[in-house]
Amino acid sequence: MVYYDVIAFLPLYILIESFTKNTYYSRLFFTILVSGYSINEIVNKRYYTLEALNNIEEYNSVAEKCILMCMLYFSYDFFNKEIYNNNGFIIHHAICLCSGLTILYYKFYGILSLYLCCHEISTIFLNLKHLNICKDFSDKMFIVTFLGIRGTTLPIMVFKTYSKNKYLCFIILIDCGLHIFWISQKIGNIRKKAKTKAKAKATLNNNDEYLKLNIIEYGEKND
């Protein structure tokens, strides 16, 4: 089957990147598109029910379309210089490409793929944060959606694939480990920011006290 929107995806992605001179606008385009397709399919086909989750190996055209777009995106993004300095992203992209190729070849686990594509909802807010669009709100929403969507679906996917496909289960386990690493990094950054703010506040208070003492001393001398 020919998917014209998939054919048009990469040229549009490159066009947005060239026009805006900012990779995060094109990444925003990708994340909105893929997460939009997957959410629409999950809602319309009622793939959020327990019955659907028990049949996650079911394959469909929308899942195939989403996987193809992801394959194009991750393949192209490998040429981005930022990726070379981030081992986490290299591992993530490699995992997505390997699992995508497997699913496309055997034509199974379509519902699983749709749920994994929903993970890009959190990346929408990450891209908005990098673009300084409602930065504080986007950062908070990124944390909420990251934990709420990725943190809940990944363990379920591991459980569901364990007895059916050990290869995909192993790949998702690696992805889980990567997400735990990212969460620990985020917690570390939050702690560093909190410590920096506390030190800045303490320094400010010390400066205020020093200023007060100088004023009192100056007043006493004048008396």
| Calpha distance 155→87 (Å, rounded) | 23
Could you report the average pLDDT of every consecutive run of 10 residues in the chain (223 residues)? 91 95 95 96 91 88 95 89 77 90 92 94 95 94 92 90 88 91 85 78 63 55 55
Residue with tokens 């020093």: 210
pLDDT in tens, 44-78: 999 988 888 888 899 999 999 999 999 999 999 88
- Output DSSP code: residue 59: -
Percent of residues, the chain, with pLDDT higher than 90: 58
What was the pLDDT predicted at 199?
75
Structure-token pair, residue 155:
């363990």
Q: What is the reported pTM? A: 0.83
- Output DSSP code: residue 118: T
What was the pLDDT predicted at 217?
57
Buried b (16+ CB within 10 A) or exposed e, 159-173: ebbeeebeebbebbe
Judge whether 100 and 70 are in contact, CB under 8 Å.
yes
| Calpha distance 60→5 (Å, rounded) | 16
Helices (H), the chain: 4-20, 23-44, 50-53, 61-77, 81-84, 87-106, 110-117, 120-130, 135-145, 151-162, 166-222
